[in-house]
Amino acid sequence: MRDFAIEQSLAAEDTADECVETFLANARDLGLLTNYAGAERLLTFEILLDELSNAVPATTGGQVSQTPHDVPVDVAKSSPRIVGPGSSPAQVIAESSDLSNVCFLVTPIGYEGSEQRQHADLMLGSLIGPALATLGMRLVRADKISTPGLITSQVIDHLVRAPLVIADLSFGNPNVFYELALRHASRKPTVQVIRTGDPLPFDVGQFRTVTIDTTSIYTLVPQIDTYRAEIARQCRSAMDGQNEAETPLSRFYPTFWDQFGAGPGS
């Protein structure tokens, strides 16, 4: 894309990278990027039309009804996707995305070049990503699916439906703890990680947390394989034969879900 921009005189060499970044940021905000084979891909018209044609069931009179809000999630996933007149093709693809092998990474992201972003990229590319590769899972971070800093429907969808969530509690980021609480309410497997030196709040400190020393390359590099192995082990253990994960909510208030008619085992 960078070479194309230069060849078509859309940008000079010294501004081509910025041009590409701006284009991708706008495409991401419009929902025109999708995760495919572990990488972000631009949606093409062929993909959109193919997905849309598969999603819309045959109808009479050209009328297409929307999925009722009270249809159970499991039923909705197993039934053909019904597209309402207000749904865009990009929304159809986002809503029908397969999260069956996804691990959603809840992490402080921060601004480009900030300490938090450098930490998040390090965890994603050098620690958690390689650890999950051994489990055959696809790692997704929030800024890859929606506008950074917003708790959007896509983020909540991943928190609720992804078979595994890893929560990086470093920096004590409030958004991370909010998303972790939503995950606890879903009663699905979660693994906690934190960097050495950051306080672990009492409410979540009673659950096993992988502590990673990122003080310097001299403390991180010699232990990096150990950290990866421990993250993989914790993920495997969290997902191994558990229908409902134990959380502070399930441990100290096990009847929480009963008031909504969704008690354990329902």
Dump pLDDT digits (tens) for 7-56: 777 778 777 777 777 777 777 666 676 654 445 666 665 555 555 555 55
Beta bridge partners of 162: none
Q: In what order do the strands lie in the sheet with 102-106?
A: 138-141, 102-106, 164-168, 190-195, 209-212
Chain-wide mean pLDDT for the chain?
76
Gyration radius of the chain's alpha carbons: 21
* Domain hosting residue 124, numbered range: 102-252
Residue 176 forms part of a structural domain = yes
pLDDT tens digits for range 67-101: 333 333 333 333 333 334 444 545 544 444 688 89
Residue 65 forms part of a structural domain = no
Count how many domains the chain has. 1
Alpha carbons 265 and 166: distance in angstroms, whole number? 24
Residue 15 forms part of a structural domain = no
Q: Could you tell me if 102 and 142 are in contact, meaning their C-beta atoms sit under 8 angstroms apart? A: no
Give the pairing of strands 138-141 and 102-106. parallel
Q: Averaged over 253-261, what is the pLDDT?
A: 74
The set of long-range contacts for 30-34, using a CB threshold of 8 Å and a minimum separation of 24, is 30/90, 31/88, 31/90, 31/91, 31/94, 32/90, 33/144, 34/93, 34/94, 34/97
Residue 48 forms part of a structural domain = no
Cα 112 to the chain's mean position, in Å?
19
Predicted confidence at residue 14, as pLDDT, reads 74
Residue 228 forms part of a structural domain = yes
Residue 45 forms part of a structural domain = no
3-state secondary structure labels for all residues of 3-20: HHHHHCCCCCCCCHHHHH
Alpha carbons 43 and 40: distance in angstroms, whole number? 9
Predicted confidence at residue 207, as pLDDT, reads 86
Residue 163 forms part of a structural domain = yes
Alpha carbons 236 and 48: distance in angstroms, whole number? 35
Give the pairing of strands 190-195 and 209-212. parallel
Query: Could you count the other beta carbons within 10 Å of the beta carbon of residue 263?
Result: 12
Predicted confidence at residue 219, as pLDDT, reads 93
Residue 71 forms part of a structural domain = no
**Minimal CA–CA distance to 164: which of 242, 79, 56, 67?**
242
Q: Could you tell me if 183 and 190 are in contact, meaning their C-beta atoms sit under 8 angstroms apart? A: yes
What CATH number has the domain bearing residue 143? 3.40.50.2300
